[in-house]
């Protein structure tokens, strides 16, 4: 019965639109709830697309079944057609007595935990503990894979976060010939796949396929123009492969080993070594496959199309290019990850564990049960803080001894900052390098702000700046009025010293 399917699809689309509208009107406070809401909306949008395609196929009626059903209803006895369809429905339920019936009214309605909805959200299994529901990147496994590659100096995880998207010297020690290995190809593929998957998990409502397509188009243009960093045509010398004086220009340069020799005998003796022979064969093979010895560009050799070596280089360059674009698109998350790693390095293992437990306890906190009033939940959320102490990262007041240790009860006003009051000596000392204080000094006409530390009064700053300017003028005037004298031995000295 196509009419019933058509009616069901229309109802399903309306229920989906209402479900999306209900969730868009919400404003969850926790990032877990926001991501869960966005993923649910994304699933609803995908279902709308699928149901719309089915509905369009019914309206197109390529097989003529809908037209045939309309004719059967509109012609003949309507009661006969009604009982015919009724018998078909009874026969179906007789054959499938336990067939579940989908209740569209409750299918897309947001349920409270007490109404049967599972406490586990859709995003709980999408992120690791280090990612904190998409707030930070988790590149620890990729960092280990990077360190296991040959020729890599050991770098810390924090250093790796700063340079994982840089693939050119001097930050990247891997040379171009060493990149054509399966290990490096797998590494850049895993890194690009992780960044792309992370973006899909944290931005479910964005049109990411369009963004990734733009990355591919940009890479194609850059590759055709030989503008991909680190993957341009290799410049090789034309002519006999004789020793060339390069490097410092003082010794004999071996282009195969890329090494300079001070002594001619040492250079000749190393020519028969296995290392030199292997380097020479590799350099010769690169020149043959890249086709750069006769001016070919982009890997075209003798008009027979790109070589297999160049195709592999293109695949590696594509992944490196995508990693750069993805890292630039998630620069904020990258900076937050850097700050989080620096912060955790100053914590003990117990403090890290307590912070992780508090984070998951906050994320899995159940909503108020049915029947509880909003006033009761508000009273439960109130924090007892009679001394009005500052709140820590967990939303609870800091200990009183820590409050006294940092002197947070001492007020330090600054007239230059617009009578802004800083609580504690640490915040007061730090504010002299902040933009608010520097802007206040510039409004007074003061350009050299380094000499005005510990000065908070406007009048004091103006007096000091006036004195500095007067001293500079006196020093300049005194230097211009000094008369230079020369004795009979040719020694130059001031006039006062000469007469003494």
What percentage of the chain reaches a pLDDT higher than 70? 82
pLDDT at 249: 53
**Average of per-residue pLDDT across 281-297:** 55
Q: Where are the domains of the chain?
A: 2-115, 140-232+311-339, 387-500
pLDDT surpasses 90 at 491: no
- Rounded to whole angstroms, how far apart are CA atoms 494 and 482? 7
pLDDT at 362: 64
pLDDT surpasses 90 at 192: yes
Q: Please state the length of the chain.
A: 500
DSSP conformation class of 177: G
Contact in structure between 453 and 446 (CB atoms under 8 Å) = no
DSSP conformation class of 306: B
Which residue's entry shows tokens 């990355």?
215
pLDDT digits (tens, 9 = 90+) for 371-389: 444 444 444 456 777 767 7
Per mean pLDDT, which range of 37-46, 67-76, 247-256, 444-453 is the poorest?
A: 247-256
pLDDT at 187: 92
**Average of per-residue pLDDT across 265-290:** 74
pLDDT at 198: 92
Read off the pLDDT band of 482 (50, 70, 90). Answer: low
Per mean pLDDT, which range of 96-100, 284-288, 464-468 is the poorest?
A: 284-288
pLDDT at 364: 59
Per mean pLDDT, which range of 121-130, 282-291, 389-398, 470-479 is the poorest?
A: 282-291
pLDDT digits (tens, 9 = 90+) for 132-170: 888 889 999 999 999 988 878 888 998 899 889 888 877
Tell the burial category of 326 from Cβ atoms under 10 Å away from its Cβ (0-12, 13-18, 19+).
Answer: buried
């Amino acid at each position: 019965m196509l009419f019933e399917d058509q009616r069901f699809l229309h109802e399903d689309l309306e229920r989906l639109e209402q479900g999306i509208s209900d969730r868009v009107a919400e404003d969850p406070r926790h990032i877990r709830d926001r991501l869960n809401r966005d993923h649910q909306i994304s699933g609803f949008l995908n279902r709308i697309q699928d149901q719309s395609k089915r509905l369009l196929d019914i309206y197109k009626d390529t097989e003529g079944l809908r037209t045939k059903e309309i004719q059967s209803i509109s012609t003949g006895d309507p009661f006969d057609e009604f009982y015919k369809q009724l018998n078909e429905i009874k026969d179906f339920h007789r054959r499938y007595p336990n067939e579940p019936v989908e209740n569209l009214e409750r299918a897309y309605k947001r349920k409270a935990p007490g109404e049967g909805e599972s406490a586990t959200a859709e995003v709980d299994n999408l992120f690791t503990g280090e990612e904190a529901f998409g707030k930070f990147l988790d590149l620890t496994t990729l960092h280990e894979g990077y360190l296991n590659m040959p020729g890599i100096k050991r770098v810390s995880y924090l250093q790796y976060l700063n340079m994982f998207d840089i693939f050119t010297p001097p930050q990247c020690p891997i040379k171009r010939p060493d990149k054509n290995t399966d290990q490096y190809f797998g590494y850049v593929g895993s890194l690009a796949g992780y960044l792309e998957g992370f973006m899909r998990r944290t931005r479910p409502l964005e049109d990411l396929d369009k963004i990734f397509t733009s990355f591919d188009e940009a890479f194609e243009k850059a590759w055709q123009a030989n503008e991909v960093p680190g993957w341009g045509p290799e410049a090789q010398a034309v002519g006999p492969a004789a020793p060339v004086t390069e490097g410092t220009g003082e010794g004999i340069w071996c282009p195969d080993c890329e090494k300079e020799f001070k002594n001619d005998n040492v250079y000749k003796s190393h020519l028969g070594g296995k290392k030199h022979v292997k380097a020479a064969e590799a350099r010769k093979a690169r020149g043959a496959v890249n086709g750069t010895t006769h001016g070919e560009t982009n890997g075209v050799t003798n008009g027979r199309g790109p070589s297999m070596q160049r195709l592999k280089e293109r695949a590696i360059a594509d992944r490196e290019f995508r990693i750069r674009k993805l890292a630039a698109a998630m620069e904020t998350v990258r900076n937050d990850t850097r700050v989080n790693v620096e912060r955790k390095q100053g914590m003990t293992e117990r403090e890290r564990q307590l912070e992780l437990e508090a984070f998951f306890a906050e994320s899995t906190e159940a909503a108020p049960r049915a029947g509880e009033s909003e006033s009761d939940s508000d009273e439960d959320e109130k924090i007892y803080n009679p001394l009005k102490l500052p709140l820590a990262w967990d939303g609870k007041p800091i200990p009183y001894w820590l409050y006294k240790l940092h002197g947070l009860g001492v007020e330090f006003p600054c007239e230059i900052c617009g009578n802004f009051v800083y609580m504690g000596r640490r915040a007061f000392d730090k504010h002299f390098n902040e933009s608010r204080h520097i802007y206040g000094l510039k409004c007074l006409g003061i350009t050299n702000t380094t000499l005005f530390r510990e000065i908070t009064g406007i009048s004091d700053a103006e007096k000091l700046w006036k004195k500095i300017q007067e001293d500079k003028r006196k020093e300049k005037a005194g230097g211009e009025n000094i008369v230079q004298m020369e004795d009979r031995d040719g020694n130059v000295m001031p006039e006062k010293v000469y007469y003494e």
